[in-house]
A and B are shown apart, each in its own frame.
Chain A
Amino acid sequence: MELLSGGEMLVRALHESGVEYIYGYPGGSLLHVYDAVYKQSAVKHVLVRHEQAAAHMADGYARATGKPGVVMVTSGPGATNTITGIATAFTDSIPMVVIAGQVMSHLVGDDAFQETDMLGVSRPIVKHSFSVKRPEDIPEIVAKAFYIAGTGRPGPVVIDIPKDMTMPNERYEYNYPKKVKLRSYSPPQRGHSGQIKKAVELILKAKRPVIYSGGGVIIDGSSDKLRALVDRLNYPCTNTLMGLGAYPGTGQRFLGMLGMHGSYEANMAMHHADVVVCIGARFDDRVTNATSKFCPDAKFIHIDIDPSSISKTIIADVPIVGPVGNVLDEMMALLDEANEQPDEAAIASWWKQIDEWRLRHGGRFDKNESQLMKPQEVIEALWTATKGDAFITSDVGQHQMFAAQYYKFDKPNRWINSGGLGTMGFGFPAAMGIKMNFPDDMVVCVTGEGSIQMNIQELSTCLQYGIPVKILCLNNGSLGMVRQWQDMNYEGRHSNSYMESLPDFVKLVEAYGHIGIKVTERDNLAQALEDTFTKYNDRLVFLDVAVDPEEHVYPMQVPLGSMRDMWLSKTERT
């Protein structure tokens, strides 16, 4: 039997758990582990410039691949710097394993140098956490952490490792468990057949159905099954912000995103629906608007792997707890056996109504209103330049909504954004994590001049590892979404939403050894984008695009209203 130190066991166990990259930052309590990392080559370590970025890199990787991303940070500030990243992953149900160093066991509780109660600090934002008490437990704890992070409703898991658990001269038998079993954790494997049968009966009776799907479909890798169901039924489908790409964005049956900045037709269809089939989504407040006025005529079928999501904000008429893929399989089988078919006449007239709504608004914006470029047209140009096939990450704000509305995602796992927590500074490191694992794909971070500055130090990491992500900065010189709310609700008092001292981004990225291109004229945009993806394909390119600061994101739901209460432009209301 091979004897390994705790540090060596940790690295070996990560390798056995399928880890290729660790994103992290060394420090005192982890030096034994970092020495073990140095002595092997199976697991590669990526040194970030701030631990928050390490968490977002791991998160981006996880969202693109479906596999847990791995973060490694030292105790104290190293660990607490990951908190925003862990919370981001937690809110969006992203699998992640965070290895946090800790001071020596005998110093825990003494307010030692770089000591923080990481388990306590992270407790509300993790799926689970472990503290290592004996070095020989490390392989099993790692295996359990990956199992918990990646199964059921995924989420981040923290492993807190005191320094004395990793001593290089103390060696133990290494046993990585072949199979992990926890008596108190068994995620649902299938939905309740009786409930699924009820759901299918209700679906077939629907006259004005909407299929509303979310991130759960993508996490479960069940986009194909969703598409099959939607197409077979010929029912309209809308996706949440987290669910974009599950159903093709260019598909005829796709209504666009729903919710606060959802499309007119999606929100109208939801409001008038008689049956809403919610698949892997959670009736978030950014979707429902006022729950008391939400879909007044609808019966709700709710499929979710997490029972606590069901009937939390909207009471489900047919709740189904189970993995989306399995439930959709069973639904399809029941549809095959059923004698009934959807009510074709009713569905045809429902589509007629939806098509009228589509004509009414249809995601239009006024290109010629100003000399300045509109952010929407920049996103459309990006879509054209990348043929709609890039990984698009985003930060948070107007640019995020414009990207969600105007970049039509035809594939799942391509739209990577912090939907639940709304973390500015997420997009760039997330793009880096993706690019390192998909070197041949186009990876673009759509951002704003506010968000990008929240993790801009990672330009240095990109230089070190040669990570040629593309950054498309919609520069409107202000915190656009804050400004929009101030315009709409605070009589235009732009309190602290104006970035009065922006850097010269081109010079900044050049200082970091990358390519910067400033675009101020509409006529230069297409060429700049082409250069970005051809001439400078192997370089990090920062496109600083000046856009109209007066532009607002529409549609926008009227606060405390129903789904159909929307502003469609600065002057037009439903």
Chain B
Amino acid sequence: MRHIISILLENEPGALSRVVGLFAQRGYNIETLTVAPTEDSTLSRLTMTTTGDDHKIEQITKHLNKLIEVVKLVDLSEGAHIERELMLIKIKAVGAQRAEIKRTADIFRGQIVDVSPSVYTIQLTGTSDKLEAFIEAIGPGCVLETVRTGVSGIARGEKVLSL
């Protein structure tokens, strides 16, 4: 099962390499990884998605918690949460296709952020599923390039991950 693990990490050199190294060292898989500083500049917020059975995920979270630089950790998929990923996608758009692609982008609430005579660049935000559905709808044959940020997530409601 897919899990979204969200971490408050000391914003220090080498901290990220410990997190990533742990996954390599113990044979765990990272599907997506995003990291950036928070409003408190001493902390970074890191979100990663990984898959595994409950036993494996339990080991992953235990080992992550052991890292000195991991301040707090939550498995967002254990509760109600919001997840978002941003994609920039370049699509071949010529002739009649141009209108069709624009319509599809509108349906998915995507924005065309750059236009050239034969290419649209579209920005799309949503769950990973939604981004994949968009690629599917456009048809993989037209896709020239995709860039995805990886998943960011936050818990719903009052729950916060903070010091």
B25 within 8 A of partner (CB): yes
Which of A124, A182, A306, A312 lies in contact with B66, CB distance below 8 A?
Answer: A306
Residues of chain A within 8 A (CB-CB) of B63 are 308
B17 touches A312 (CB 8 A): no
B25 touches A312 (CB 8 A): no
B37 within 8 A of partner (CB): no
Interface string of B15-34 (1 = CB under 8 A from A): 00110010001000000000
Minimal beta-carbon separation of A129 from chain B (angstroms): 8
CB within 8 Å of B: which of A300-338?
306-308, 311-312
B69 touches A184 (CB 8 A): yes
B25 touches A124 (CB 8 A): yes
Residues of chain B within 8 A (CB-CB) of A312 are 59
B66 touches A308 (CB 8 A): yes
B13 touches A185 (CB 8 A): no
What number of A-B contacts does a CB cutoff of 8 Å give? 32
CB within 8 Å of B: which of A87-135?
119-120, 123-124, 127-129, 131
B68 within 8 A of partner (CB): yes
B79 within 8 A of partner (CB): no
With A124-B25, A183-B163, A311-B55 given, is the CB distance from A131 to B68 under 8 Å?
A: no
Bound CA–CA A148/B67 (angstroms): 11
B62 touches A120 (CB 8 A): no
With A183-B163, A307-B62 given, is the CB distance from A123 to B68 under 8 Å?
A: no
A148 touches B68 (CB 8 A): yes
The B contact surface, by secondary structure, is helix
Minimal beta-carbon separation of A147 from chain B (angstroms): 11
Bound CA–CA A123/B18 (angstroms): 7
The A contact surface, by secondary structure, is mixed
Minimal beta-carbon separation of B74 from chain A (angstroms): 14
A183 touches B71 (CB 8 A): yes
- Between B10, B13, B14, B21, the greatest number of chain A beta carbons within 10 A of the residue's beta carbon is seen for B14
Bound CA–CA A185/B71 (angstroms): 8
A128 touches B62 (CB 8 A): no
B65 touches A307 (CB 8 A): yes
Closest to B13 in A: A131
Residues of chain A within 8 A (CB-CB) of B21 are 123-124
Residues of chain A within 8 A (CB-CB) of B14 are 119, 129, 131
Closest to B72 in A: A184
Minimal beta-carbon separation of B136 from chain A (angstroms): 40
Minimal beta-carbon separation of A454 from chain B (angstroms): 26
Minimal beta-carbon separation of B16 from chain A (angstroms): 12
B131 within 8 A of partner (CB): no
Interface string of B34-68 (1 = CB under 8 A from A): 00000000000000000000010011001101101
Bound CA–CA A124/B63 (angstroms): 12
Instruction: Show 19 residue pairs from A and B whose CB-CB distance is below 8 angstroms, ordered by the A residue.
Output: A120-B17, A123-B21, A124-B21, A127-B68, A131-B13, A131-B14, A148-B68, A182-B68, A183-B71, A183-B163, A184-B69, A184-B71, A306-B66, A307-B65, A308-B59, A308-B62, A308-B66, A311-B55, A311-B58
Binding site for B on A (CB under 8 A): 119-120, 123-124, 127-129, 131, 148, 182-185, 306-308, 311-312
**Pairs A-B, 3 closest by C-beta atoms:** A308-B62, A184-B71, A128-B68
Query: Other CB < 8 Å A-B pairs besides A184-B69, A307-B62, 4 of them?
Result: A129-B14, A131-B14, A184-B68, A184-B71
